[in-house]
Chains A and B, each alone.
Chain A
Amino acid sequence: MALTTAPGRTGRTGSARPHANRRRVGRDRHAEGLAGYVFLSPWLIGLMGVTAIPMLLSLWLSFTNYDILTPLSEVQWVGLANYERMFTADPSYWHAVRVTLTFALVAVPLKLAAALGVALLLNKAWRGVGLFRALFYLPSLLGGSVALAIVWVNMFNRDGAFNSFLALFGIEGLPWVSDPDWALQTLMVLAIWQFGAPMVIFLAGLKQVPTELYEAASVDGASRWSQFWHVTLPMLSPVIFFNLVLETINGFQGFTAAFVLSNGTGGPVDSTLMYTLKLYISGFTDLEMGYASAMAWVFLIAIGLITAIFFSTGRFWVHYSDGEK
């Protein structure tokens, strides 16, 4: 897809007067360079004003005791105190780290497994694929909303729909959302429920697998199971990689459902204290913006590291056919 970037030489074709044209080419280049920056200017202003400067500001703030109430000029430099407190003196910070890692490590693989499983079922179906695909995709559009989080909390209440379903089998359910051992799991189920978006990407990937490979495999007597392991999975590995990176990064940033379930506290007993919720509470409830900035930077570095780990391990298991990319 990057091939098209090679630019054709400007204005050479169909020219009767090479000299006049060459001069024009030079002027065009200059005009084009200027136009480039004209078109790019909103993005550049955004990059500086909304992204780069705020990032530097937050780096500086992370070494201060800034709260929103004192003016910026009276802020005190506290060195590494925020980072020290975070790592050694704030147990709820570690709760947030644990909750977020647990959420991502459990929910993301299950979500991708569901997405791949359903994509495989749909890929072979002959009719109604479009309808199924659309219905499975619907939760991905709605699931991140406050409304759905409200529904979820009520569904997993003590007298919610889930427990009455369990009652059909004679099982007495728990008040899942207010039980510290189970509250996070209900959020995981909500995340897995939104498997439609990665599923659609898997489906597109499955369409790209050449049928000849399956034909060759079945001529060689490979079972369906071994076709899956030796043809489908390797051919799909770039798409799996893509979904894994994207969903992991999204998973780390889960906020809305945890906020709704705990009414913004991360409870019960910190069990749904996602990292972003902890950051929000520190910055906007406790107004410790210096502390929250330190948290944001650790978060950024952690996400950067995880992405780097994905990309460096990716070459051992991601298979690109014909040296593409």
Chain B
Amino acid sequence: MVAVTSTARPRSSRKSGGRQAVRLLILIVIVAVVLYPLLWMLGTSVKSPEEIVNNVGLLPETFTPGNFTAGWGNFDLSFGTFFLNSAMVSLLTVVGNAVSCLLAAYAFARLRFRLRGIWFAVMIGTLLLPGHVLIVPQYILFRSLGLVGGEWPYLPLLIPQFLATEAFFVFLMVQFMRGIPRELDEAAKIDGASPYGIFRHVILPLSRPALVTTAIFSFIWTWNDFFRQLVFLSSLDDYTVPVALTLFIDSTSQSAVGPMFAMSVLSLLPVFLFFLAFQRMLVEGINTSGLKG
């Protein structure tokens, strides 16, 4: 379908062929620039301390996988703990967002109730509300409830996610549900289905694509999130991967660079795998909803 534009215009094929070649060349150069930092990170993660200083090229002369084991055990706790913590927070966030945002979206998209218009406007208003504005009072509230650094310190990170506070996902799902034919609801209603029945048997099964998009984005965003985790996690054994990575910055010694890069690479691996598995869906997901990247 893209080719239509070029064939529709009357131009000599040789000229447009030349144009295409130039265009491709420019694109390849841009790809090289864009990918360089990622490849350089990968290369540096397997360089020896001497090479990190002397050889800043992409490829290591001697392959030093030892950085990974050194980084894994660099602190009092192994990175395995941090990875488990991150995975737990991210997966529970996925569950929380999927469930709570789906419920809210169904109400907004399909049910008529008093003040719906007002609540919907409020929800749209919270779309642009910067999370940083709320962090101080949220911290105070959760702390006064004894949840910060409490028995299970992840509650302040997770409670908002189970209360549909990610308006992006509510909005995404509302948009999606508006595309589900209303005739299906009507038919179920005639068969005597209640709003709960319609949700269970019509909307829920048909909303799977929106749920998958929500799940992928909430996983990636939570996995990469730093600000909230930095604020709410205070002891080493509760740290998630991003917070643990900042510990490397404190140790300025040159020998820590390799392990630091190795752990950085590992920390991006889950996101990268998600990208490989779902890249089409990710790209289309931001199209349909205009989500932040």
Contact = CB atoms under 8 A, between A and B. Distances in A.
Interface residues of B, number: 111
A133 B111 CA distance: 38
A54 B132 contact: no
A18 B174 CA distance: 33
Contact of A126 (B2, B36, B199, B275): B2
Interface in B136-175: 136-141, 143-144, 159-160, 162-165, 170, 175
Nearest to A21: B190
Interface residues of A, number: 115
A201 B271 contact: no
Nearest to A52: B122
B226 A255 contact: yes
Interface in A47-103: 47, 49-51, 53-55, 57-58, 61, 66, 68, 72
Interface in B218-249: 220, 224, 226-227, 230-231, 241-243, 245-246, 248-249
B130 A299 contact: yes
A46 B96 CA distance: 12
Contacts of B263: 147
Contacts of A150: 245, 248-249, 260-261, 264
A8 interface: yes
Contact of A35 (B10, B162, B195): B195
A55 B268 contact: no
Contacts, number: 328
Contacts of B130: 249, 252-253, 299-300, 303
A42 B100 contact: yes
B34 A139 contact: yes
Contacts of B290: 201, 242, 246
Contact of A161 (B24, B56, B195, B293): B56
Contacts of A7: 112, 182
B195 A31 contact: yes
B77 interface: no
Interface in B83-135: 100, 103-104, 106-108, 111-114, 116, 119, 122-123, 126, 128-135
Given A13-B190, A50-B134, A33 B40 contact: no
A255 B283 contact: no
A197 B285 CA distance: 11
Given A43-B100, A276-B132, A200 B279 contact: no
A8 B182 CA distance: 8
A46 B175 CA distance: 21
Interface centre among B20, B116, B134, B160 (most CB of A within 10 A): B134
Contacts of B245: 146-147, 150
A5 B164 CA distance: 22
B37 A289 contact: no
B6 A193 contact: no
Interface stretch (B25-33, B61-69, B207-215): B25-33
B38 interface: yes
Interface centre among A14, A45, A151, A211 (most CB of B within 10 A): A151
Contacts of B136: 58, 61, 279, 283, 289, 292-293, 296
Interface in A110-137: 118, 121-126, 128-130, 132-137
User: Which 4 residue pairs across A and B have the least CB separation, nearest first?
Assistant: A46-B163, A197-B293, A36-B113, A140-B293
10 contacts: A46-B160, A125-B20, A137-B282, A146-B241, A147-B264, A159-B53, A218-B9, A249-B130, A280-B135, A280-B231
